[in-house]
Structure 1
Amino acid sequence: MTAPIAITMGDPAGVGPEIIVKSLASLSPEARAGYRVFGNRGSLAAAEAVLKTGLNLDSLDIHHTGIPGGTPAFGQIDTRCGEACFRFIEAAVRQAEAGQVSCIVTAPINKAALNAAGHHYDGHTGMLAALTGSKSSFMLLASERLNVIHVSTHVSLQTAIQRARPERILATIRAGDAHFRRLGQAPRIAVAGLNPHCGEGGLFGSEDDDHIAPAVAQARAEGINVTGPVPADTVYHRAYMGAFDLVIAQYHDQGHIPIKLVAFDTAVNVSVGLPIDRCSVDHGTAFDIAGKGIAKNVNLDHALAYARGLAAHPKA
């Protein structure tokens, strides 16, 4: 029997509790039994009080973590919520490591609350790497017609340029290829250039020739179907139209902007290279609408579907 899929609540003051309640309420009792929620019962109850879905919270598999001082208010940065969301994730990671859950799906966290609680991470990606003792991981954004994996994410643009070195680019190509092959697909990969027009032969910078091209050549020598560097102003359109299955983005916005343009409500954030499986919604805590019952759960539904695919193809 496959272990349940974990859903972590994220920041209790954000839209996490609402989208979880909406998604689980839409499932049959049999399908609902395939999930375990790591969160706070009071926050789920507060969300249900707003939504009135009729979901019986007592019927859910909930790994409850208490929050001192009672249920936090929606829409406010609260240090208690930063601590709570860390505890939700930590508990889910430990169960994933023990094989008690098959994959973790994370609702959004608030980085300000997380850091105020003393947990100094750039987000889920860095936190999960630290909790699992991993040197690093890669952020892959998956959607129906466009998939992007990043060489760097939550760093300054200056630091991102410094990180675009052959060894890191090659590691990203390998990680993306291995992920797709695990899911049964031999991907066609394109590596986006860093400079305009890939540097135009050195006129606009030499990084594409000096760092990206050698990494692509090494990956091709290893048998990976990869092309690049390809100018970033055309590679995403080509991938969207079917020429490539995966694009290697050199930095955060280079990959996020095209994905959020074409799949804002449906893209799934996947952590690649960890010893456990994790995917997530690709949106924030939305404090401005939290507690109003209007948050959409479409993105969470797609993340849960992706998690089911990962659970069906366990790591070797």
Structure 2
Amino acid sequence: MPHKPIIAFAIGDPAAISPELAVRVLAKHDEESATLLVLGDARVLDRGLLHANLEDAGLAGTIARVRPEDIGTARPTRSVFVDLANCELDDVEIGVASVTGGRATLDNFRVALTAANEGFADAVYFTPFNKHAMRLGEGNYVDEIGFVNRTIGAERSGSEFNVLDEVWNARVTSHIPLAKVAESLNTDRIFRALQLTTEVMEGAGIQRPRIGVAALNPHAGDGRNFGTEDEDIIFPAVERAKAHQLAVEGPIPSDTVFVRAVKGEFDAVLTMFHDQGQIAMKLIGFDRGVTLIAGYPFPIATPAHGTAYDIAGKGIANDGAALKAIELATRLARPASEAPEITKTFADAVQGTRAAAANASISEGAPVH
């Protein structure tokens, strides 16, 4: 019998389209594909049901609602909604970032990561976050990768991938100022990114993926006329990857590498910085794109688009990317045999991760709102 993974499902920003998308995903969920451990506030789920206005709410309308202490030390055998009771909706205006919304979002994500890290789930999925709201809720928040590292005590940082059916995008640097990109690049870092991209894509069933490596400078440096990084840093990384039998080519001018990928020459493009890939991927398939965070013991997936405050509460959110993201999380989920042994109750795990977060905020001087 095929392994049926458990997905820790964190509901995102309560002021955004996230509750509606959560409901739409639950309404279309196939219980035979995965068991969902849905995490959030029951009031937010009910708001999502109201906004989605579905004729058939499916699992969203019938899912069992439990408390953290009801989970005990066993992995769930059916999909459940865990009410974390963490979001007072009177303090959350639709379409507006808030302290309350940011804190609830972070708590949902923190608990989802903890559930996977403690063996209760095999992958993490979330509907969209709003970084401004999350920074209002927790002053030391920077981005998802830093948050994951702190929450699970990761030994190494993961990496973000943007995924479409026709092409994947991996990146060497992510949420840093453009002015710091060149100085942050080195041959080892690019080579490791190529190794991780190959590893993750093979885990998704794409054997020996063909990777086009984007140049940093216009025209790949034009023979050192427009910069030296392409010849001195990127090219050696590509050659090292080839020596390790990876299917890579580059550096390729970034204004053509995605054209070649979409035509079928490459399965993935490795870009040097965030928007070098994001702009292309969102133009190719904004409503289908998935963001995958990989390199941890379990995968983390979410729609690649944002929180769409402008259409929140209107019942018109497109669920295409949300459905693609949970499909990918299910496909890449860690085998149950590799999950750590559960050593504490779910309630104790929740209490522990919340206490650690509170202590970290105090020690790091995070602002109190």
Bin of the TM-score, shorter chain as denominator length? over 0.9
Aligned to 1:73: 93
**1:132, 1:275 within 8 Å by CA — same for their partners in 2?**
no
**Kindly tell me: are residues 314 and 176 of structure 1, through their superposed partners in 2, closer, same or farther at Cα, counting changes over 3 Å?**
farther
1:131 is aligned to 2:151:
yes
Aligned to 2:227: 205
CA contact (8 A) 2:211 2:248 kept: yes
Matches within 5 A, 1:107-186: 107-134=127-154, 135-184=156-205, 185-186=207-208
Structure 1 unaligned runs (5+)?
A: none
Say if 2:40 and 2:83, in contact at 8 Å, map to a contact too: yes
CA RMSD after TM alignment: 2.0
| Aligned residue runs from structure 1 range 13-92, under 5 A | 13-27=15-29, 30-31=31-32, 34-53=35-54, 54-55=56-57, 57-60=61-64, 61-67=80-86, 69-70=88-89, 72-92=92-112
Alignment coverage as a number of residue pairs:
315
**Structure 1: which amino acid aligns with 2:321?**
N
Which residue of the other structure, out of 108, 114, 121, is the alignment partner of 1:94? 114
The verdict on how the C-alpha distance between 1:142 and 1:227 changes in structure 2, with shifts beyond 3 A counting, is same
- The more displaced of 41-50 and 69-78 is 69-78
Residue 58 of structure 1 deviates from its aligned partner by 4.7
Give deviations 1:195-246, integer Å, cap 9, x for gaps: 0111011100001011101111111122211111111111111111111111
Indicate conservation of the 8 Å contact 1:6/1:104, yes or no. Answer: yes
Q: In 2, Cα distance between the equivalents of 1:296 and 1:85?
A: 21
Asked if structure 2 preserves the Cα contact closer than 8 Å seen for 1:7 and 1:36, the reply is: yes
1:163, CA displacement in angstroms?
A: 1.5
Q: Deviations over 1:72-98 (max 9, x none)?
A: 332111101111111101111111012
Partner deviation per Cα, 1:82-140 (whole Å, 9 max, x = no partner): 11111101111111012211211111111111111224233223222322223322111
- Structure 1 residues 104 and 198: CA distance shift in structure 2, 3 A: same
Q: Matched residues, percent identical?
A: 32
Q: How far apart are the structure 1 equivalents of 2:88 and 2:287?
A: 34
- SS at structure 2 position matched to 1:45: helix
- In the TM superposition, 1:139-288 aligns within 5 A as 139-184=160-205, 185-288=207-310
Distance across 2 between alignment mates of 1:250 and 1:315: 35
Counterpart amino acid of residue 2 in structure 1: K
Q: CA distance change for structure 1 residues 295 and 32 in 2, over 3 Å: closer, same or farther?
A: farther
Partner letter of residue 82 of structure 2? Answer: H
Moved more, 61-70 or 173-182: 61-70
With over 3 angstroms needed to count, the CA separation of the structure-2 counterparts of 1:300 and 1:39, relative to structure 1, is same
Which is further off, 164-173 or 118-127? 118-127
**Gaps spanning 5+ residues in structure 2: where?**
65-79, 339-369
Answer whether contact 1:3 1:99 (CA < 8 A) is retained: no
Q: CA deviation at 1:154?
A: 1.3
Residue of structure 2 equivalent to 1:105? 125
Within the candidate set 6, 9, 12, 1:7 is matched to 9
2:76 equivalent in structure 1: none
- 2:129 maps to a residue whose letter is I
Paired residues of 1:5 and 1:35 also in contact (CA < 8 A): yes
Whether the 8 Å CA contact 1:265–1:299 is kept in 2: the answer is yes
Distance 1:33 1:73 in 2: 33
Runs of 4+ in 1 over 6 A off after TM superposition: 312-316
1:305 aligns with 2:340: no
When residues 237 and 315 of structure 1 are mapped into structure 2, their CA distance, relative to the original with a 3 A threshold, is farther
Helix, strand or coil: the match of 2:112? helix
Give a deviation string over 1:129-178, Cα, whole Å, max 9, x none: 32222332211111011211011111111112221211211111111011
Worse-matched range after superposition: 276-285 or 116-125: 116-125
Q: Is the CA contact (8 Å cut-off) linking 1:196 and 1:204 kept in structure 2?
A: yes
More displaced stretch, 51-60 vs 254-263: 51-60
CA contact (8 A) 2:4 2:34 kept: no
- After superposing the two structures, state which structure 1 stretch, 121-130 or 7-16, moved more: 121-130
Q: Secondary structure at the match of 1:233?
A: coil
Correspondence for 2:350: none
Q: Deviation of residue 183 (structure 1)?
A: 2.6
Contact preservation (8 Å) 2:167, 2:261: yes
> Post-superposition shift, 1:290?
1.0
